[in-house]
Amino acid sequence: MKKKIFVVVILFVTLISVFPQTEDNFTVVLTDDYTGAKITRYNGQSISALQIPETIQGFPVKEIGNGVFANKNFTSVVLPSTIEKIGEDAFYNCYNLSVVTIPANVVSIEFVTKSVSRNGRQENTAAFERCNNLLFSSQSVLKLRGYPNNFDSKKLGNYIVTLTRDSTGLVIVRYDNGKPRILNNYYQAQNQREENITIPSIFEGMPVKEIGQNSFFRMPRSYSNVWPDLLLDGMVFILGNLTIPEGVEIIRKNAFGVINSSDYSVQGGQAFKSVTLPMSLKIIEEEAFVFCGNLNNIIIPTGVTTIGNSAFYGCDSLIQVTIPSNIRIIGNRAFSSCKKLSSVIIPEGITEIGDNAFAGCSSLTSIVLPSTLNKIGNEAFRDTKFPLSIQAELRRKGYTGSF
């Protein structure tokens, strides 16, 4: 008898979840221009999949009113191809909502928001506010159709991820493997280990396009002579190999940078031995790999157009670097203090070498210069070991700094 009751309950729940939605499930009024229907209330059953009809009472459904579907348990919503406007809080706190489907012919939607006070703080009451489980693919579609608010980032595995500014891909906001974030003088040695990291190329159907600023290492909020007060957000010591996936186009400022402070004898962050960069990469921003002292070899892909200031500053194990021809300017201090770098080929197409670009490269004895080079910055080759023949060639190119 108990088994029969159990089966009946399951069938009842299933019927509720797929209960067909009819016009009677929606209360509507005319839009202000009398050309369509505006949904002002949902009268239907508790369901997981909501499909809003294209017409009600013969009028196209053009608007969804304020708060109509707030706090419902939907997991998916299909919007009609007729939709033009969605009111504030329309799907507010639909926590289980993961998929929103918008027909391809809907190129834009007007989303209504306003600022209100909730729990003593100001918030924007946007249509999908607190829909924290929306898949990135659905977030992207909503943003591209005009949704004005940003969605919260998500913790997926060891990564905190969010949409790019143009909503066409994802940014790695932070690598977080759960290690403690307070460093002291006895824990420092214990926390070192070797770990190889391959960053995923896709999360929830969306490609990873950017490695975010400070994402693999946070600079300290403050320095102190008292070690326990030295807070290093995201501090971990990684001595292995890093693979950045195809699809990534930008490595943001200090993404893999390592703090280096002689004052406090601190070195930390992602000190990778090797880094594999994708062919899709276009921009390496300033200080991206600053003080990565274990990095010994880097091949910069041919598609890269920008190497930012101090991008590889202080990579004092770097023996070899390949610079692509699509770059026009090597940034200030880009390879400064790479003490083991012995030879460099500057390809045709590069027009400028920035200030102190190779300063402090104390093993640098060989360089190939392009015919396109027309500007060499101040002290670009200070403290190098060039023979007189190369010094003469650099002087003829207009270099006035020291060697």
SS3 category, 22: coil
Rounded Cα gap, residues 389 and 248, in angstroms:
41
Give a yes or no: residue 305 inside a domain. Answer: no
SS3 category, 25: helix
Give a yes or no: residue 297 inside a domain. Answer: no
Average pLDDT over residues 300-320: 92
Give me the amino acid identity at 389.
Answer: S
Q: How do residues 190-218 score in pLDDT, each as one tens digit?
A: 445 567 889 999 999 999 999 999 888 64
pLDDT band at 17 (very low <50, low <70, confident <90, very high): very low
Residue range of the domain that includes 36: 16-112+124-144
* pLDDT at residue 72 greater than cutoff 80: yes
Give a yes or no: residue 34 inside a domain. Answer: yes
Give a yes or no: residue 21 inside a domain. Answer: yes
Which strand (E) or helix (H) includes residue 193?
A: strand 192-193
What is the pLDDT, as a whole number, of residue 348? 95
Counting the structural domains of the chain, the total is 1
* pLDDT at residue 236 greater than cutoff 70: no
Is the separation of the CB atoms in 240 and 262 below 8 Å? no
Query: Which range scores top for mean pLDDT: 20-29, 201-210, 221-230, 283-292?
Result: 201-210
Which of 45-49, 133-137, 267-271, 314-318 is predicted least confidently?
Answer: 267-271
Distances (CA, A) of 172 to 208, 253, 274: 7, 13, 20
Give a yes or no: residue 271 inside a domain. Answer: no
Which strand (E) or helix (H) includes residue 91?
A: none
Give a yes or no: residue 299 inside a domain. Answer: no
Give a yes or no: residue 264 inside a domain. Answer: no
CATH number of the domain encompassing residue 87:
3.80.10.10
Task: Kindly report the pTM of this predicted structure.
Answer: 0.82
Average pLDDT over residues 77-97: 96
Rounded Cα gap, residues 149 and 315, in angstroms:
40
Average pLDDT, the chain: 84
Which of 8-22, 92-106, 130-144, 241-255 is predicted least confidently?
Answer: 8-22
Give a yes or no: residue 399 inside a domain. Answer: no
